Amino acid sequence: MGKDTQAPPTSTVDDAKPKYTIRAAAQRTGLPPETLRAWEKRYGVPAPARSLSRYRLYSEEDLGEIRWMKVLVDEGIPPRQAAQLARERRAAGRAFQDSPARETGALVLDLKSACLAYDEDRAHKILRHAATVMRPNEIMRKVLLAAVAEINRDWETGLVTPAQEHFASKIARRFGVRIMSLFRERTDANTVVLACAPGEHRELGLLTLAVEARASGMRIVYLGADVPVDALLSAVRDLRPTIVVVAATMTAHLDPWLAAAAAVRPHARKTRFLWAGPGVHQATAKGLPGVEATTIDEALQALTAGHPVIPPTAAR
Ligand code: B12
């Protein structure tokens, strides 16, 4: 697993040298001296050296720590929590020069190596850490799907076994379902029911769409893989959702829906149907009511904009 054991950057002796006064530190980090004092007093971040006359003297490392914490705080992480992460990082001897993009890359590699080792606990620890540095819907796309894609690349070249690849997609699925509950739904939320077409077991694209829709405040009823046509239509009768999303990654998976087009049409008066995924080409041309979207971004746009949506109360 050579690729995964990338050494984190370490700091040099020079980086540790105390040399900046609080005024210079403030100029270099863009934070006022009062904030620097407050962070140090309340959270112990950073912990600058003192001159003989007891003035604070900041090192390059200290400045890196401040900037690192500032990125987290700017992203909406409470300072206490951001400081806790900074202290843990300091204790682990990791440098603070990492950009957020590099941080994301490191999370993907960490998660990949946890999945290859079938280490679910470590995978969850990594995802919990990710939750403190980015929004949950970003974790789904930037970390989980990126790790699945990484693993898949190695699988294609024979470096990863199908079992490891299954394990990774199971982690992605489980976490995706869980993170939906982290978002609050809007009080005027539209209900969206999402299901994979019959025989469709690849659900990570649909799940990503569900997480994004939940993040935008929609009420989500996520039914997952391989949902029979009758079962979904009965859920539509019961829930009267504003939108139903049916996912297909292969065109053949949409055949049962094409065969049932006549039974779908009456439902389309109150519910909008969105046929989504790479396998839905020509679904509407072939007689299904509603709209089509191939990519997650297109589908999200179709869910959230461009179409007047009936509030759930009016639809009932
Ligand atoms: C994980 C995986 C599985 C898992 C899925 C687990 C799960 N719970 O979802 C399982 C084990 C079920 C599986 C099964 C199969 N798989 Co598979 N699988 C993969 C793998 C490794 C990753 C796919 C994935 O989920 N990626 C994450 C998603 C989000 O990304 P993505 O697939 O790139 O999709 C992008 C777009 O297509 C789009 N998208 C995808 N789905 C959706 C859905 C919606 C609603 C929207 C809007 C967009 C969207 O958005 C994504 C991001 O851009 C790929 C390898 C690869 N190269 O992709 C093979 C792959 C997709 N599988 C493949 C195959 C052949 C199969 C099987 C037929 C194998 C078999 N013989 O049984 C079965 C089919 C199962 C079925 N009937 O549905 C082939 C597909 C070839 C093809 N083009 O037809 C691939 C490409 C592997 C390969 N190189 O051969 N698979």
Contact residues of ligand 1, CB 6 A cut-off: 145, 148, 152, 165-166, 169, 173, 199-206, 208-209, 247, 249-250, 276-278, 293, 295-296, 299
Note whether residue 6 is domain-resident.
Answer: no
Quick check: is 2 in a domain? Answer: no
The pLDDT of residue 75 is 63
Which residue's CA is minimally distant from atom 34 of ligand 1?
205
Confidence of residue 5 (pLDDT cuts 50, 70, 90): very low
Q: Examine the domain organization and report whether 171 and 200 are in the same domain.
A: no
196 and 283 together in one domain: yes
- Using the 3D structure, point to which of 180, 201, 227 is the last residue of a domain: 180
ω before 198 within 30° of 0 (cis)? no
CATH of the domain at 70: 1.10.1660.10
Residue 139 within a domain: yes
Nearest-atom number in ligand 1 for the CA of 200 is: 78
**Are 62 and 154 found together in one domain?**
no
pLDDT band at 208 (very low <50, low <70, confident <90, very high): very high
Atom of ligand 1 nearest to the CA of 245: 45
- 62, 91, 120: which is the final residue of a domain? 91
pLDDT, mean over the chain: 85
**Each residue of 177-188: pLDDT tens digit?**
988 887 878 778
143 or 308: which leads in pLDDT: 143
Task: Give the model's confidence band at 129: pLDDT under 50 very low, under 70 low, under 90 confident, else very high.
Answer: confident
- Residue with CA closest to ligand 1 atom 51: 205
Residues 214 and 174 in one domain: no
* pLDDT, average across residues 151-159: 81
List the structure tokens of 63.
Answer: 């400045």
282 inside domain: yes
- Domain housing 147: 100-180
What is the rounded distance in angstroms from the CA atom of residue 260 to the CA atom of residue 275?
Answer: 14
What pTM value is reported for the model?
Answer: 0.75
Measure 202 CA to ligand 1 centroid, in angstroms. 5
Domain annotation covers residue 300: yes
Q: Number of folded domains in the chain?
A: 3
- Which atom of ligand 1 is nearest the CA belonging to 293? 47
Given the CA of residue 166, which atom of ligand 1 is nearest to it?
11
Residue at a domain's end among 165, 180, 195: 180
CB within 8 Å of 9: residues ≥ 6 apart: 94, 95, 97, 98
Which atom, in ligand 1's list, is nearest to the CA of 299? 47
Nearest-CA residue for ligand 1 atom 70 is 201
CA of 188 to the centre of ligand 1 (A): 34
**pLDDT at residue 161 is higher than 50:** yes
**pLDDT at residue number 259:** 96
What tens digit of pLDDT does each residue of 218-271 get? Answer: 999 999 999 999 999 999 999 999 999 999 999 999 999 999 999 999 999 999
Averaged pLDDT for residues 151-167: 85
The CATH number of residue 237's host domain is 3.40.50.280
CB 115 within 8 A of CB 171: yes
Ligand 1, from 196, 202, 244, 296: best to mutate by most atoms within 8 Å of Cβ?
202
Asked whether residue 10 carries a pLDDT value surpassing 70, the answer given is no
What is the C-alpha separation between 67 and 25, in angstroms, rounded?
A: 10
Query: What is the rounded average pLDDT of the residues 213-219?
Result: 90
Q: Are residues 163 and 213 in the same domain?
A: no
Highest mean pLDDT among 111-120, 189-198, 304-313: 189-198
**Could you tell me the CATH number of the domain that includes residue 166?**
1.10.1240.10
13 confidence band (pLDDT: 50, 70, 90): low
Which residue(s) pair with 244 in the sheet?
Answer: 193, 273
Residue 203 maps to a domain = yes
Q: Which of 30-34, 40-44, 101-105, 197-201 has the lowest mean pLDDT?
A: 101-105
